[in-house]
Structure 1
Amino acid sequence: MTLQQMKYAAEVARCRSINRAASKLFVSQSSISSAIKELESELHITLFKRSNQGVELTPEGRQFLSYANSLIERHAYIESVYASKQVEPELQFSVSTQRYPFAVDAFVRLVNEIRDPRFNLTIRETSMDKVIDDVYTAVSDLGVIFTSNATEKIIKRFLQARSMEFHLIKKIQPCVYVRKGHPLSGKASVKAEELARYIYMAFEHKQGESIDFSEEFNFIADRHPDKVIVVNDRATAVNIVCNTDAVSTGSGLLVEEFMDGRMMSIPLEDYGDRMKLGWIKLKNRHLSAEAERFVDMLHDSIENALSFTRKVRSQV
């Protein structure tokens, strides 16, 4: 199967005539007919059927062209990008992160700092397993995750098996997210057992996935909460916490620029474990200047979030 065969099939579908397609492409009708026959033979499908109105795509043909057209368009885009040797290289950076506002804050700072005329920046908020997978497959330059005393050995072994490394930024006392006015909101700290009476909000993760890869800090490894709400995006999670008595656990860090004034966090009483926030990359992958700058901004964003979180707690 060649790109030329796909272009021929696409043009015939547009023109609904092999003769008109040949005229538009400045090739012989026999060349197009032969190319389509070869393509059909290779794929073991029939692309077109004849009718009184000309040739029409079969259902198989429509499905094939839905894939082929995207390849044709990408080919045209690549040609346009490199048609001129004067085109400057495009600045590129991609990060995958667990659902952390401070990571988004660092990304926004990076965007506002860049002055290059051409760039392509990407941020993905997703689950820990997907963050690791994105970095492992080089979809992202780096990822932002956390480990704890309970999960560190398993996660680091998982990373080492994929030639990846974890860089610690900050150890954080785990916290509980609640709405302001929640029955627990007046407390300076909360015991894990006090959460049992409330709905627990958790982020969705793949069936069969280890709890070590959860989004939330795992403070009850030996049992599951009786009442659980499962969500898959941060905005929904914030709205549920702010409008119900549901609780969730995590770093507790609040970012002023993205803060919902209805929410706060309370430290879990100290029992020796910490959330270890950090970033991951492939061991043999050199970080670009933009990636290094993002890491610097990530450090700053976490420190700023710590300061703002303490301020919010002092006002409750």
Structure 2
Amino acid sequence: MTLQQLTYLVTVADCGNITDAAEKLFISQPSLSAAIQNLEKEMGVKAFVRSNKGVVVTREGEELLSFARMLLEQADNMKEHFGSENVRPPKFSVSCQHYSFAVNAFVDLIKKYDADQYSFIIRETQTGEIIDDVASGKSEVGVIYLSKNNEEILSKLIKKSGLIFEELKVAKPHVFISNKHPLSGKELVTFDDLKPYPYLVFEQGEKNSFYYAEELVSMLDFPKNIQVRDRATLFNLVIGLNGFTVSSGVIDQKLNGKAIIARPLKMDAQMRIGIVTKKNMILSRYGETYIEALNKHLSIG
């Protein structure tokens, strides 16, 4: 097994077919196919199911790809650590729940490593996908929260996926509402106060259970519920419908505007906001910088 073979494996998976991958790698299609077959034989797995339409990654292939991405990332990190800072263009990917502070940290990262060429990815996505992204190597860092409601289930999934959770901040639950909301003048908001208004939550797809929810409060506690997929839509509905959502209270007016405000929610609960990373993985300088920026913005909120 060589790093070159692992690069070939990941490129084929990303392209979805041998022909495009060969063009991207500047090698012949037969040479690429042979390299992949040799790797499959050595590892004793069938990574792809091949057809006229391209390739489909098998379950064994997904596991092999996870290791391949991790090893390639670690090789790059080692080169950067012991070699020149300009070994490769800046490259980093993070998957996160819908937090403005996660975006702010991402902005700080790009500003620090701005260059003529770079590749940065931020995925504001569903909780289950965040864990999957980090486990598969698609993202170096994931940003989620744990609480007494979801910790047992998510901690088992994190451990099973070969990941670890590191707590960065413990936050009390808040509601995000419009600055013109009828409850905006209250210093402390109760459940009864909120029941007349639409409760806005992030939809979690196939894993749409309370354990994967980004909000501390179940939809069952409120009669009016709206599920959305992105933060901009949610905030538009918060303003347009006098809706609300439940989150950490960490919000940046520069990023989200002054129309959205946070008010404490009367609730005996905590959000343990933190990161998930691969166990025993050496972070890249970009991952370390991103986590430093996260800590900075969480300390402000």
The verdict on a shared fold, with TM-score over 0.5 as the criterion, is yes
Q: CA deviation at 1:298?
A: 0.5
Match of 1:11 in 2: none
Q: In structure 2, what is the Cα distance between the partners aligned to 1:71 and 1:238? A: 43
Code of the aligned partner of 1:119 = Y
1:213-247 deviation per Cα after TM superposition (whole angstroms, max 9, x unaligned): 112122x48x3421111111111011110122111
The alignment-based identity, stated in percent, is 30
1:179-210 deviation per Cα after TM superposition (whole angstroms, max 9, x unaligned): 11211111101112322221111111124532
Q: In structure 1, what is the Cα distance between the partners aligned to 2:125 and 2:145? A: 13
Aligned pair partner of 1:235 in 232, 235, 239: 232
User: Is the partner of 1:176 in helix, strand or coil?
Assistant: strand
CA, structure 1 residues 200+71, in 2 after alignment: closer, same or farther (shift >3 Å)?
Answer: same
Number of residue pairs the alignment of both structures matches: 230
Counting only pairs closer than 5 Å after superposition, residues 25-174 of structure 1 correspond to structure 2 as 71-79=18-26, 88-174=87-173
User: Is the partner of 1:168 in helix, strand or coil?
Assistant: strand
Q: CA deviation at 1:115?
A: 4.6
Q: In structure 1, what is the Cα distance between the partners aligned to 2:143 and 2:202? A: 16
User: Is the partner of 2:283 in helix, strand or coil?
Assistant: coil
Residues 99-108 or 201-210, more deviating = 201-210
1:260-309 deviation per Cα after TM superposition (whole angstroms, max 9, x unaligned): 221111111242x11111000110322111101110000001122x1xxx
1:164-184 deviation per Cα after TM superposition (whole angstroms, max 9, x unaligned): 110000001111111112111
Is 1:279 matched up with 2:275?
Answer: yes
Q: In structure 1, what is the Cα distance between the partners aligned to 2:241 and 2:211? A: 27
Q: In structure 2, what is the Cα distance between the partners aligned to 1:137 and 1:207? A: 19
Match of 1:302 in 2: 298
Task: Tell me if structure 1 keeps the 8 A contact 2:165–2:274.
Answer: yes
Residues 241-250 or 290-299, more deviating = 241-250
CA, structure 1 residues 75+302, in 2 after alignment: closer, same or farther (shift >3 Å)?
Answer: same
Q: In structure 1, what is the Cα distance between the partners aligned to 2:131 and 2:152? A: 15
Match of 1:203 in 2: 202
Match of 1:267 in 2: 264
Task: Tell me if structure 2 keeps the 8 A contact 1:179–1:244.
Answer: no
Q: Which has the larger radius of gyration?
A: 1
Q: CA deviation at 1:133?
A: 0.8
Q: In structure 2, what is the Cα distance between the partners aligned to 1:182 and 1:138? A: 42
CA, structure 1 residues 200+111, in 2 after alignment: closer, same or farther (shift >3 Å)?
Answer: same
Q: In structure 2, what is the Cα distance between the partners aligned to 1:148 and 1:123? A: 24
Match of 1:257 in 2: 254
Structure 1 runs (4+) deviating above 4 angstroms are 67-71
Match of 1:51 in 2: none
Task: Tell me if structure 1 keeps the 8 A contact 2:94–2:140.
Answer: yes
Task: Tell me if structure 1 keeps the 8 A contact 2:201–2:245.
Answer: yes
User: Is the partner of 2:281 in helix, strand or coil?
Assistant: coil
Code of the aligned partner of 2:188 = S
Task: Tell me if structure 2 keeps the 8 A contact 1:176–1:265.
Answer: yes
CA RMSD for the aligned pairs?
Answer: 2.3
CA, structure 1 residues 163+261, in 2 after alignment: closer, same or farther (shift >3 Å)?
Answer: same
Task: Tell me if structure 2 keeps the 8 A contact 1:168–1:279.
Answer: yes
Task: Tell me if structure 2 keeps the 8 A contact 1:168–1:278.
Answer: yes
- What residue ranges of structure 1 are gaps of 5+ in the alignment? 1-66, 81-86, 307-316
CA, structure 1 residues 98+208, in 2 after alignment: closer, same or farther (shift >3 Å)?
Answer: closer
- What residue ranges of structure 2 are gaps of 5+ in the alignment? 1-13, 28-85
